[in-house]
Amino acid sequence: KLEKKSKEITLLKKQTSNHAEITQSLLTTFDLNKLLALILENLTKGFNLDNAYIYNLEGSETTGILRCVATPGVISLKGIDRLTISFLEEEEIISLTLKNHLPLVIEEAGKDKRCSPGLLKLLRLEQMLLQTLYAHGKILGLVIAGNNQKKENLTPEEVERFSTIVNQAGIALENAQFYEKIQELTLHDELTGAYNYRYFYPKLREEMRLASRYRQPLSLAIIDLDDFKRYNDTNGHLAGDSALKQITQILVNRLRKTDVVARYGGEEFAVILPVTNREGAKKILEDLRKEIENYPFSGQETSKNLTISAGISTYPYDAREARELVEAADKGLYQAKNKGKNQICVYSQTSP
């Protein structure tokens, strides 16, 4: 009896130590992709389960949808469409789990009338363990884990450990989402919503490394609003702020998703154009220049339209380092200003 008791105490100590390590790793991981992978690993390998799904709840627990963001081998914050669960009120086992916030064990899903044929076909699990992802009074989503075929029944201790990990995962996910929002705010300009200077340089270096690896050109444009001080003085600072926001929207809407728009300074913007040569960049900027010249900015009282000037430099022809590429684009901008403004100039080392 003493030997049996000693083994039980040793096992309990090991489980307690493992639980502490899992909790520590979950609560100190703020990258959402890494966190989701960590949760999946602890739920599958930790309990010898074949599969697991992590779902985000979009909308209410009755009329919303559950969008799968992680399953072993696939993690997508935008959602894995083929695994989406809709019509939650019609899925009895899902509704029951979302309402109770407690782990629900299904030992033989094929014989359980609460599991719809559609859900069984979607998940392909015969033995299931479901629990709500919950943090600070808010339902975040749902975890479903289990086995493709019936194995030994899960013990109450295993279910309790599973529940503890899911509860910690809910708190960790909320922390990571909050951290991501804070990071997002620190990398965007407060007025325009464009990326800011802090984001711009690391992103430019990253894009230049990719351009180098794949032997592709990359162009950079530095854009400046012509006579913006006069525009502010004439129309007022509120109109000036509005114009900056509208220009940002024009840039974002007209450029590709792979292009990067950043507010570089007061009335200056930087645009990173991956896989774009000089000629392509010149055409893009000319189209933008014409659109802005003819755009009816709200709050504008003067008949003189707002215009832009821009300088363009291209990697690897004009520079091989980020700062040098910016300096070259700045010189192109200087050339555009000297030519009378409302101009786009491609940097040339031979130009004055």
Nearest-angstrom CA–CA distance, 23 and 189: 35
- What is the separation, in whole angstroms, between the first and last Cα of the chain? 93
Domain shared by 57 and 6, yes or no: yes
Check whether residue 203 and residue 311 sit in a common domain: yes
Q: How many domains would you assign to the chain?
A: 2
List the domain range (segments joined by +) for residue 78. 2-186
Establish if 313 belongs to a structural domain: yes
**Which residues touch 42 (CB under 8 Å, ≥6 apart)?**
22, 26, 165
| pLDDT value for 11 | 47
Same domain, 32 and 136: yes
Q: Encoding tokens for residue 316?
A: 């690897």
Burial code of 65-86, b = ≥16 C-beta within 10 A, e = fewer? Answer: ebbbbbbbeebeeebbeebebe
153 and 232 together in one domain: no
Contact of 62 with 206, CB cutoff 8 Å: no
Chain segment 157-179, per-residue pLDDT in tens: 889 989 999 999 999 999 888 77
φ and ψ at residue 59, rounded to 5 degrees: 95, -160
Q: Are residues 37 and 180 in the same domain?
A: yes
pLDDT of residue 250: 96
Tens of each residue's pLDDT in the chain, 352 residues: 555 556 555 544 555 555 566 667 777 787 888 999 999 998 888 888 999 999 999 998 888 999 999 999 999 988 999 999 988 878 899 999 998 888 999 999 999 999 999 999 999 999 999 999 999 889 999 999 999 998 888 888 889 989 999 999 999 999 888 777 777 778 899 899 999 998 999 999 999 999 999 999 999 999 999 999 998 888 888 989 999 999 999 999 999 999 999 999 899 999 999 999 999 999 999 999 999 999 988 766 665 789 999 999 999 999 999 999 999 999 999 999 999 999 999 998 655 5
- Is residue 143 included in any domain, yes or no? yes
End of a domain among 134, 166, 186? 186
Residue 133 domain flag:
yes
99 and 217 assigned to the same domain:
no
- Both 103 and 242 in a single domain? no
On whether residue 352 sits in a domain, the answer given is no
Q: What is the pLDDT of residue 155?
A: 87
> Do 303 and 337 share a structural domain?
yes
Please indicate, yes or no, whether residues 12 and 144 belong to a single structural domain of this protein.
yes
Q: Is 267 a catalytic residue?
A: yes
Please, how many CA atoms are within 13 Å of residue 143, restricted to the half-sphere of its CB? Answer: 31
Asked if the structure places residue 192 within a domain, the reply is: no
Query: Which whole-number Å values give the CA distances from 121 to 48, 92, 130, 148, 266, in the listed order?
Result: 22, 15, 16, 11, 56
Instruction: Tell me, yes or no, whether 151 and 206 share the same domain.
Output: no
84 is written with which tokens?
């989406």
Q: Are residues 288 and 215 in the same domain?
A: yes
Q: Which pLDDT score, from 0 to 100, does residue 52 have?
A: 96
Last residue of a domain, one of 186, 207, 240: 186
Residue 44 lies in a domain: yes
Judge whether 106 and 130 are in contact, CB under 8 Å: yes
Provide the pLDDT for residue 8: 52
- Tokens linked to 106: 């299904």
In a domain, 351, yes or no: no
Examine the fold and report which residue of 125, 158, 186 is the final residue of a domain before the chain moves on: 186
Question: Would residue 190 be called left, alpha or beta, if left means φ above 0 and alpha means ψ between -120 and 50 degrees?
Answer: alpha
Alpha-carbon gap, residue 263 to 251, rounded angstroms: 11
The CATH number of whichever domain residue 11 belongs to comes to: 3.30.450.40
Q: In the numeric block, which tokens belong to residue 25?
A: 């790793």
Residues 247 and 287 in one domain: yes
Q: Which of 126, 158, 207, 267 is catalytic?
A: 267
Sign of CA dihedral 98, 103, 106, 112: negative
pLDDT score of 103: 93
Per-residue pLDDT at 80: 94
Q: For residue 258, what is the domain's CATH number?
A: 3.30.70.270
Q: Tokens 């629990």 appear where?
A: 131
Q: Please give the radius of gyration of the chain, using alpha carbons only, rounded to the nearest integer.
A: 28
Would 75 be classed as within a structural domain? yes
Torsion sign over Cα 327, 288, 259, 253: positive
CA angle 95, 72, 183 (to 5 degrees): 85
What is the distance between the alpha carbons of residues 110 and 124, in angstroms, rounded to a whole number?
10
